[in-house]
């Protein structure tokens, strides 16, 4: 969630206090004792010493200097409204054509230094459309960044800066080992760089939570995320979700503030698991597009179809209620070579039940080109199995991925029925 520049109009100071240290007073006062004393008709503050060191503070200290603010800039003419583009720019923009202006803010995590360069991971949606990117380090110093690579599906991007002023790099933890209920901390710049390196605390609320988002170009993204109740706000995107060992276990990416029904929600933030992050950034660092396997099918959720279509066209028994219907099969793809045909109903992948295209896509994209995938499906009411060899080359894969994402967008927005 990038944050529009200038969203912070001012800071309201609501109160303050002064800490007074008594001279020559080296005694320790328990927190349960009174904290104020009266001396010669004057109220003073006692010198209460509290050991504030904890696993939480140590975790923050370990990683905070690796968390940065990311500011994106766009040329002024790129920010004109559609009306201005059609009928001419307004008078106050005529003299600023081509100038860079702040367009959004987010967060990022420095994770590696190598050969004079430092690499930062952030969200793809933070830097989408940027003509330039500026990084503010925890020290407050600002440096220019280069976009090395982006991936819309995973919503990740890699930036590069000079390592001259970089003092700390973050360590990734194994996200497969996280547990529901485990204490976690979110570090980033909520509401922009004015509140850089803010820390919020919570727990892991759930693992492998299926989240569906839409990219700026309209593609539908389905991914499994870590859910947390640690406060995530606009500007936190791209920041770190860490465990109490100070390891990054996720990259904060989104939150749900309201359900489709209009009901408000609190404490529902989501982070991309670190294991997926590492896999993606290792490819983006090299300037490569992320290679993912494909099936080569257009598909629709079974539960969107009418009872009549399920019975008369698919020949399904009433007990089959969830799955994915193959609407069409592309030529010379893994799906065609595995024998899949139009109107097959996929109900399991590698022995695991699936109920939607999002679940199938998530499992598929977790695999690598060259892997195998076993599909259980129904054809004319009869259950059968096949093994798909995921061996397509990356150039054809990218083209097909775009087609599949466009098809999913259409199906989810219009409930397209393949039998019409």
List the catalytic residue out of 69, 76, 103, 125. Answer: 125
Angstrom distance (rounded) from CA 220 to CA 237: 19
One of 2.40.10.10, 3.30.2350.10, 2.40.70.10, 2.20.25.90 is the CATH number of 171-286, namely 2.40.10.10
List the catalytic residue out of 69, 107, 134, 155. Answer: 155
Q: Is 350 a catalytic residue?
A: no
List the catalytic residue out of 2, 134, 198, 237. Answer: 237
Return per-residue pLDDT of the chain as tens, 420 residues. 444 333 333 222 222 222 223 333 433 334 444 455 555 678 887 776 777 788 999 999 999 999 999 999 998 765 555 555 555 555 454 545 568 888 899 999 999 999 999 999 999 999 999 999 999 999 999 999 999 999 988 899 999 999 999 999 999 999 999 999 999 999 999 999 999 999 999 999 999 888 776 555 544 556 789 999 999 999 999 999 999 999 999 999 988 887 778 888 888 999 999 999 999 999 999 888 888 888 889 999 999 999 899 989 999 988 899 999 999 998 888 999 999 999 999 999 999 999 888 888 888 888 888 899 999 999 999 999 999 999 754 445 555 556 556 655 555 554 444 444
Domain residue ranges of the chain, discontinuous segments joined by +: 171-286, 293-395
CA terminus-to-terminus distance, the chain: 38
Fold annotation for 293-395: Pdz3 Domain (2.30.42)
Question: Which residues lie below 8 Å from residue 301, measured CB to CB, with a gap of 6+?
Answer: 324, 325, 355, 356, 357, 411
Q: Is 274 a catalytic residue?
A: no
Q: Is 394 a catalytic residue?
A: no
Angstrom distance (rounded) from CA 324 to CA 349: 11
Answering whether pTM is above 0.75, one says no
Instruction: Please check whether residue 186 is in contact with residue 253, taking contact to mean a CB–CB distance below 8 angstroms.
Output: no
């Amino acid at each position: 969630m990038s944050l529009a520049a200038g969203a912070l109009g001012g800071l309201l100071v609501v109160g303050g206090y002064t800490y007074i240290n008594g001279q020559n007073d080296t005694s320790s006062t328990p927190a349960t004792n009174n904290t104020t004393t009266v001396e010669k008709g004057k109220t003073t503050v006692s010198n209460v010493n509290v050991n504030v060191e904890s696993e939480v503070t140590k975790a923050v200290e370990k990683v905070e200097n690796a968390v940065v603010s990311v500011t994106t800039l766009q040329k002024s003419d790129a920010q004109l409204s559609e009306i201005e583009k059609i009928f001419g720019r307004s008078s106050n923009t005529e003299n600023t054509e081509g100038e860079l202006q702040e367009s959004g803010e987010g967060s990022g995590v420095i994770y590696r230094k190598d050969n004079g360069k430092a690499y930062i991971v952030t969200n793809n949606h933070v830097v989408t459309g940027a003509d330039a990117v500026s990084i503010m380090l925890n020290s407050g110093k600002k440096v220019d960044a280069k976009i090395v690579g982006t991936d819309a599906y995973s919503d990740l991007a890699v930036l590069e800066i000079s390592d001259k002023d970089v003092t700390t790099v973050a360590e990734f933890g194994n996200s497969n080992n996280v547990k529901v209920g485990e204490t976690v901390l979110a570090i980033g710049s909520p509401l922009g760089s004015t509140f850089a390196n803010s820390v919020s605390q919570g727990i892991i609320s759930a693992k492998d939570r299926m989240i569906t988002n839409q990219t700026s170009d309209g593609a539908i993204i389905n991914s499994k995320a870590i859910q947390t109740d640690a406060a995530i706000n606009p500007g936190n995107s791209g920041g770190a979700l860490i465990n109490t060992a100070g390891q990054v276990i996720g990259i904060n990416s989104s939150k749900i503030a309201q359900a489709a029904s209009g009901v408000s929600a609190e404490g529902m933030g989501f982070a991309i698991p670190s294991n997926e992050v590492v896999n993606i950034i290792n490819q983006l660092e090299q300037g490569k597009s992320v290679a993912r396997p494909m099936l080569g099918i257009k598909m629709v959720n079974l539960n969107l179809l009418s009872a009549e279509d399920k019975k008369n066209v698919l020949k399904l028994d009433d007990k089959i209620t969830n799955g994915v219907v193959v609407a069409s099969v592309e030529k010379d793809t893994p799906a065609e070579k595995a024998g899949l045909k139009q109107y097959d109903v996929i109900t399991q992948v590698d022995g695991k039940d699936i109920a939607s295209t999002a679940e199938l896509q998530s499992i598929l994209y977790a695999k690598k080109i060259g892997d195998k995938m076993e599909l259980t499906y129904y054809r004319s009411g009869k259950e059968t199995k096949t093994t798909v060899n995921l061996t397509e080359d990356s150039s054809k894969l990218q083209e097909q991925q775009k087609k599949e994402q466009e098809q999913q967008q259409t199906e989810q927005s219009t409930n397209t029925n393949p039998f019409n």
